[in-house]
Structure 1
């Protein structure tokens, strides 16, 4: 499965990169085995570019839980590392998104797979293309490399 990591507030950590590393360190305790990961990418905040710059990355994860249980585990990690939810797209310490779970397509009130907007975001597709350029979107059928090149949200995203 594909998990996107991001944030633009370091919280109690020395940097956003340190916070994202701390999040990854929590994955095994949540039953999420990280089998590959991208480097960290930077991009201007969106939709408000005056907010602090974002750091993002991708982890390829294996788990024996169902998608909802994986999402619940990701939300618990966010909370444990200081995530507080306010308004949509507000600056945040940590955002963990389940981008895809194999080829599954799910649309329930609490979970949509693949992630409904990930394919539009260079700060998601760029890091994914870095490690799995041939990954194919379960609905669109396009590769991560193709989606990264076409992405319009976070078009300034680049490796740190």
Structure 2
């Protein structure tokens, strides 16, 4: 039984610190903005480091995952996440460019959705260790809404960001 069937999952990432001392400080600051956007953080992973993809010569990424509670619709939640990204200087010039902040809505419970600005569950999250690893840390038994398989199983076979590992303090 999937005890995380209703989970709303947001992935966070950064490889440019912008006006902050580090990506860690930036991500923590972004997380602190969630409550003002109507998001309650129920669980959060540690930060995970991985080489930039697809160009590992760019700065390393720091990623994490949070489970949130909200009364916002998926589209409303996505609008709030994009607004938080903009507050931290995110520009969407080119795909896979370095970024100050990336917030992705990975899943909204068991919902299936395909709209111009949002697909749920996230179509590539299961391929990314920097998403599935942190998710497996806080919700190992979460089951992918369309593909099946647990976060723990997907983390073990993810191929993108396969070098992702938790950052130790």
Compute the TM-score of the two structures, normalised by the length of structure 1.
0.99
- 1:94-123: CA deviations, max 9, x gaps? 000000000000011111000011000000
**Separation in structure 1 between the aligned mates of residue 104 and residue 29 of structure 2, nearest angstrom:** 16
Spell out the pairing of 1:45-60 with structure 2 (5 A cutoff): 45-60=52-67
Partner of 1:76: 83
Partner of 1:125: 132
Q: Which runs of 5+ in 1 are unaligned?
A: none
- 1:11-47: CA deviations, max 9, x gaps? 0000001110011000000000001000000000000
**Separation in structure 1 between the aligned mates of residue 161 and residue 21 of structure 2, nearest angstrom:** 24
**Separation in structure 2 between the aligned mates of residue 137 and residue 13 of structure 1, nearest angstrom:** 34
**Separation in structure 2 between the aligned mates of residue 38 and residue 135 of structure 1, nearest angstrom:** 14
Q: Which runs of 5+ in 2 are unaligned?
A: 1-7
- 1:14 has 2:28 as partner: no
- Number of equivalenced pairs: 160
Spell out the pairing of 1:1-160 with structure 2 (5 A cutoff): 1-160=8-167
**Separation in structure 2 between the aligned mates of residue 123 and residue 93 of structure 1, nearest angstrom:** 16
**Separation in structure 1 between the aligned mates of residue 92 and residue 110 of structure 2, nearest angstrom:** 29
Look up the SS of the partner of 1:107 in the other structure: strand
**Separation in structure 2 between the aligned mates of residue 82 and residue 109 of structure 1, nearest angstrom:** 23
Q: Judge which range, 30-39 or 81-90, deviates more.
A: 81-90
Compute the TM-score of the two structures, normalised by the length of structure 2.
0.94
**Separation in structure 1 between the aligned mates of residue 107 and residue 136 of structure 2, nearest angstrom:** 14
RMSD: 0.4
